[in-house]
Each structure stands twice: as C-alpha cells, then as structure tokens.
Structure 1
Amino acid sequence: MTILSTEQLRAEIKQEWLEHILPFWMKLRDEQYGGYYGEVNYELEHRRDYPKGGIATARLLWSFAAAYRVTGDPQLAEHAHHAYRFLTGALMDEQHQGIYWSVDYTGQPLDTRKHVYNQAFAVYALSEYYRATAVEAAREQAITLFHLIETTGYDATIGAYREEFDRFWQEQPNEMLSENGVIADITMNTHIHVLEAYTTLYRIWPNAEVKAALERLLLILREHMYDEQKRRLNVFFDRNWNSLIDLTSFGHDIEASWLIDDAMCVIDGEQPSYVDMVIGLANRIAEYAIQADGSLMNEQEQEHIDTTRIWWVQAEAMVGFYNAYQRTGDPAFLEKVAGLWSYTRNYMIDSRPGSEWFWSVGDDGQPGTREIAGMWKCPYHNSRFCIELLERMNEQ
C-alpha cells in the first residue's frame, strides 16, 4: 500500500470535503418548505415528499455551521442559517419542549416522540452554530435543551440517561436506539453523543453544570460501559446495568475513543484510567478489526463478524486513529489512517455525478443499495472527519 504524504492526504481530504461532500448537500436545500429534502435514493432520485428528520436536520446544521466556522465562506453561512430556521421552527415543540423525531416534507409534525439522542444532536448543532455565527438565540436554545436533558432525561436512581419518550415526556420503550433483537433501557450510543454535545456546549458556555455532567458521563463510560479485558464499550444495558448482548460495535468504539479524549481536553479533566480507555479502544480496533484492504469492518455479535464496510465507520475510524497517533506518536496509527483513506477514496466515495458516499460496501467491493441521503445518512460523519483531520494536521 502506498502511504500518502501528509500534504497529499490533506489536499485530497480538503478537495473531497469542499468540492464533493458539501456541494451535494447544498443542492438538497428545499426552498419551498424549508430544510433539506428527506431522501436521495440509490438511483439518485430526490424524494422531495419524504419526511425530514430531527437528527438529520441537526446534523446538517452542524455540518454547515462547522464548515462556515472553518472556511468563512458566506454561502455556507446561509445554509447554516437555513438549517437553523428549520430546526428551531418546524422541529422544535414550543408547547411541550424538545425536538420532534420527524416532520413531514412541509414541516408539519409527523413522529412527535422525543429521544434524548435527538435532543443531544440539537444541543451539538446549536452550540456549533453559535461558535460559527455568535447568534445568541442559538446558545440560549442549546442551554434550554441541556437543562431539559438533565432534568427529564437523566435518571439519578440508575445513574444513566434514559432514552425514549412520547411528545409529553412520558418514558417509552426504546425502539429507536435498540437493535440486534433487544430493547435496551440504556445505550452506549446515546451516552457518547450526549458527551459529544456537552463537549461543544462547554466550548461556548463553560458552565459548572455542564462540566459536572461531562465528568459524570466520562465516569459512566469508564465504570459501567468499558470492558477493560475486551477493550470495548458494551452497547446495550437494562436498568440494572446488565449488558444485554455480547456485541462489539467497532465504529462506535473508535468514535468514542476520540470523543472521550476531546471531552477530557475541553474540561481539563485528563485521568490515567480515561487515557487508558482511549488508547485501549484504539489499539483493540487496530489489532482486530482492520481488514487487509485497509477498511474497518462493522461489528461482531458473539462469534459472528459483520464485515460490511459502513460509510460512517470508515470516517470515524480515520479521526480515531489520527487521535491515537497524536496521543502516542505511534506511526502505525498514521498508517491505519492512510489505509482507510485509500479504501474510502477507491470504494466508498460514489463517483456518479450528483452523488456522495455509498451507505456501505461489501466484501466484493460492490456498494450496497441503501439511500445516499436520508434520516440517518447525513454529512455529519464524513464532513466532520474532513474538518478534524484538516485541523489536526494543521496543528502538527
């Protein structure tokens, strides 16, 4: 495998971000009803009458706001403003608080359930939007949602964030963030994304309550979710913190490793056990889950390994391994980044005009046929990978 120079890697990532990823999403702007079209299918048909998700809208807002913050491009600022208006207009429940799961294509409430994961992404997006634009209303909205998550979403009796609620904030079975045949009371996925949201909130509002919440989240991840022997985060739990399934999510583990590091950094809260967790997660993925072609497999349930290459898993792995390289100075992590980028460039990025990245690629190198844009397929993972690596390489 040819290892790219830092300069070439930086140039290729920047080009992919500015000339391919962002233009694709900018073209999905809905001028009539607000927000961005709900789906682009594998055939690249724009499904303009599809629902618009709360998570997708928040991720679009984050992506455009972060892009504007980094580049200063006023066109990206306008897209951030457009996404902000839709998130805080159509998707925000003024009567009962919080962000809806989805609205229809015209912006009318469709799925009015509330999920802590969804609220966390709104905090993340609004905080980034404030970082980029200094719109004070966005900071106040992020703070309001933070208090909502803390007072309603956090359950002090079990020491964890609850998951799913109806519109009126009555707790419901966690259908939306459970998988693999279980319904989980507590998920690792929600907790790492609350951590991510609060990390960015703390950057714009260095408040003692946010710091305390971040410290508590780091402790939850270390004491309840991290399996030190297996060097992984367990994924699904019941209310008594019993792990419900023998599952390793390689993408979430490598993503969590750098999100944990970022949270420690922002609150100046580094602890040896947390650093061990960061490096342990990265080392385990590097040793076990990287394929011969440089890509990262999806997950393992008991003895069954899902080798599917998922778009977001490749993106997060590049950030996670670069973070591990910065932590350790071990060039093997840098080689993993180069291998992942080579695979992504050759297989994951869709070269068809008017497309972006495939959802997945199989062992045979052929793409899966899931949507190119949708409720869960957004620019957040791959545009964030570009931003993180460009900023980190610029600091070297």
Structure 2
Amino acid sequence: MQKLKTEVARELHEHILPFWSACIDESHGGFYGEVNYELQRNEQADKGGIATSRILWAFSSAYVITKNEKYLPFATHAYKFLRDKVIDHEFLGLYWMVDYKGNPADTRKHVYTQSFGIYALSEYYKASQDPEALELAKQLFLLIEDVGFDKEINAYKEEFDRKWTETPNEMLSENGVVADITMNTHIHVLEAYTNLYKVWPDIRVRAALENLLEILYSKIYNAETKYLGVFFDKQWTSLLDLKSFGHDIEASWLMDQTLRTLGLEKPEYVQMVIDIAYNIADHAMQEDGSMMNEQEGDHLDKTRVWWVQAEAIVGFYNAYERTGDSRFQELADNLWIYIKNNLIDERAGGEWYWSIDPDGTPTPREINGAWKCPYHNSRFCLEIMERVNE
C-alpha cells in the first residue's frame, strides 16, 4: 500500500490542490464558483455555501495533516468569505448560495449546509487555533439542535427558508420524491459533529453523536439487506427502493470514525460497519475495478461518479483495518488504478472529471461547481496518507 500512499500524496499536492488554488477569487473573496467541462472559468458564477465550506475544509485539513505552510493562507481566505458573506448574520446559518460578490442569491437554509459549515470551521480551528472559528462552529451546532432537530420523531429536519420556517425538501430530494428525512443529511451531521467533538468534547455533542449512531442503526440501516435507506417520510417509512452505493460505503467509514472518536465499541455498530463494506464489495463493483453509482428497483446506474470512487477507497481501506481481509486492500488498489486511468483529468488546468459514462467517456459536466469540490478527492488522499504506515 506504500505505492498507493506515495501516488495519492503526489496527486493531492501536484494536481488537486493546485487546481483549487488557481480558483481563488482575489477580487471578491472566496473561490470562483464554476469551471466548466471545457475548463473555462466563470468568474461571475454564484458561490455555494456547501462548496465554500468544503473548500475551507480541504485546505484546512491539508495544512493540519501535511503541515505544508502554503495551504493555510488559502484556508484563511476561504474562512473569511464564509464568515463575512456566507453566514447570515441577521437570521443565522449558512445561505444555500451567494453571488460572485458575496451577496445573498438563494437564502434558503438547509441542515446539510449547516453541517458542512461545522465540519469546515472545526477543521479550520485545528489549523489556525482561531477561537472565532470554533465559536461559529458551536453556534451552528446549537442552531441545528434547537431548530433543525425534530425530537418527536427523532430525526434531523432538512430545508428551511431564510428565517428558519420549515419548507419542502427540494434541495436534497431526487428520483421523483420529496423526502422529509434523508440518509444523506444524517450521515453528514454525524461527520460534522464528530469533527467538532475532536476540538470541543462537549457532553451535548457526544449525546447527539450517540443518538445519531442509534438513528442510523435502528432507522436507516436495514440489517436484512445490509443497505442504508435513502429517503423517508416523517413516519420513517422508506419512500423509494433506492440503493446509493457511494453513500453506503462512505457512511460505513464515517460511522466507524465516530465510534473511534467516542471510544465506543458497541458490537452491533461495528458489525454494521463491516457488513455494509462486504455488501458493497459483493454488489456494487464492476469488472474494471470501479464502483457503480446506484440502483433503483431493478435498474443499475453504472456511471462511475468521481466522489463514489474516492469514498470507496477510504471505505474499503477502513474495512481492511477492521477485518484484516486482504480483499479490501485489493479493492482499494483496483479503484485507484481505475481513477488514475479514467477519472483524473490530464488536460492542462484540469482536475477530476465529474464521472465516466458506462461507455467509458467522460461525462461533459463541470469540473468546479456547487457540488463539485475538492472535499471527496482531497479527503481520500489525506485519509490514505494518514492511514497507510507500512
């Protein structure tokens, strides 16, 4: 695995982060909101609350893990834009979208967006030791717990207007349903709170994390199929026969990270983590080493999406650490070979393609956008750089 570690470190330092460094907006703050498939930069594109948070996390984490001084100024630049423009100082929380100058463009608030604010701010606090960043992360935590959590049904809510009146969840619903509860929001609140707990081990954060693990185990995970449900109504009834392979393997290692952070080794949770990884290994992999995207009913979506491949490597390597099963090592190695040969955009000024279509051609989608950020692929690199010690 040392070869993998060496190669992903090179990919991070020489390809991924240089691309995002070049997207810095020195005139209006933050980072440019769009680079299209043709690698043309749109300097007047809107800038997303999620994207800004993820860029802040990526440069902060790169500094924390590698101690490379060049990354901290990019993190600070992203932090200032998040603090000054993306956070709504009147009604609290992060906007869904601001324009290229930092003016509110879409003032909706989503718990998912707030979770990435916490994730990024707590990482920036690790990097900078700036107490203001930690204070903002704490405020977002309390906001989610006070407004974004439904105690009656024990679930995190989804979408709100600017003044925090709940609205239908348009932003995180797909496949023809509008979901009251999503697996996606719950795994990313878990991820965010885990990172916050590392720098602020408050009893309320721990209690929320323990409750989230129980929600994931008892409400979202199906112990018979070994898959996570994706969309639910307020009665926790699944709305769709949908299997999201990438989210499942991502959730497995995120849940395991929470268990390790809390020092919590509940056998049923550990078994869930392992069972999900084996299930995805058995049902989602393709002959070329890549992972399929999802399955709805009997229909398999065989698109190779960038973030799915990145999260799968971390998830499988985590499963290898848990089980010692060399099968997981081999899966991770083969995924990296696929990424190198197909997903990495070798064009001058490129990064990773959004996805590779089933026919083997790159999907002509944006390289930088509201959802296409350095979070998944830089995190995969950093996780492997940290985990592989052989």
Please list every run of at least 4 consecutive aligned residues from structure 1 whose deviation after the TM superposition is greater than 3 angstroms: none
How far, CA to CA, are the matches of 1:347 and 1:201 in structure 2? 35
For the pair 1:372 / 2:367, whether they are aligned, the reply is yes
Whole-Å separation in 1 of the counterparts to 2:118 and 2:249 = 22
3-state SS of 1:335 partner: helix
TM-score norm. by structure 2 comes to 0.99
Once the two structures are TM-superposed, the CA of residue 11 in structure 1 deviates from its matched residue by 1.1
**Where does structure 2 lack aligned partners over 5 or more consecutive residues?**
none
- In structure 1, the partner of 2:136 is 141
Name the amino acid aligned to 1:166. Answer: D
Alpha-carbon distance in structure 2 between the residues aligned to 1:363 and 1:159: 39
Instruction: Please give the alpha-carbon distance, in whole angstroms, between the structure 1 residues aligned to 2:4 and 2:387.
Output: 12
C-alpha displacement at 1:193, in angstroms?
Answer: 0.1
Of the three residues 71, 77, 80, the one matched with 1:76 is 71
Q: How does 1:185-204 map to 2 (within 5 A)?
A: 185-204=180-199
Determine if the alignment matches structure 1 residue 50 to structure 2 residue 48: no
Match of 1:125 in 2: 120
Question: Which piece of structure 1 moves more, 127-136 or 253-262?
Answer: 127-136
Q: Matched residue of 2:86: which SS?
A: coil
> Residues of 2 paired with 1:184 and 1:93: CA distance?
25
Alignment of 1:221 with 2:216, yes or no, is: yes
Q: Give the aligned residue type for 2:331.
A: K
1: CA distance between counterparts of 2:371 and 2:159? 17
Give 1:177's match in structure 2, choosing from 161, 172, 176: 172
The alignment partner of 1:300 has SS state of: strand
Q: Give the Å deviation of 1:363.
A: 2.0
Q: Distance in 2 between matches of 1:75 and 1:103?
A: 27
**1:33 & 1:160 partners in 2: Cα distance?**
38
Question: Given residue 385 of structure 1, which amino acid in structure 2 is its aligned partner?
Answer: F
**Paired position in structure 1 for 2:12:** 17
Which residue of structure 2 aligns with residue 272 of structure 1? 267
TM-score, L = length of structure 1: 0.98
Matched, 1:167 2:151: no
Instruction: Map 1:320-331 to 2 at 5 A.
Output: 320-331=315-326
Instruction: Using the TM superposition, name which of 64-73 and 50-59 deviates more.
Output: 64-73
Amino acid of the structure 1 residue aligned with 2:125: Y
85, 97, 104: which is aligned to 1:102? 97
Match of 1:296 among 283, 291, 298: 291
Letter in 1 for 2:91: H
Secondary structure of 2:201's match?
Answer: coil
> Unaligned stretches of 5+ in structure 1?
1-5
Q: Deviations over 1:280-323 (max 9, x none)?
A: 11001101111000000000001000000000000000000000
Letter in 1 for 2:376: H
SS of the residue aligned with 2:105? strand
**In the alignment, which of 153, 161, 166 is matched to residue 158 of structure 1?**
153
* C-alpha distance after superposition, 1:253-281 (max 9, x if no partner): 00000000000110111211101110111
What is the CA-CA distance between 1:74 and the residue it aligns to?
2.0
Q: 2:229 aligns with which of 227, 234, 239?
A: 234
Note the C-alpha offset of 1:85: 0.2
Count of matched residue positions in the alignment of Structure 1 and Structure 2: 390
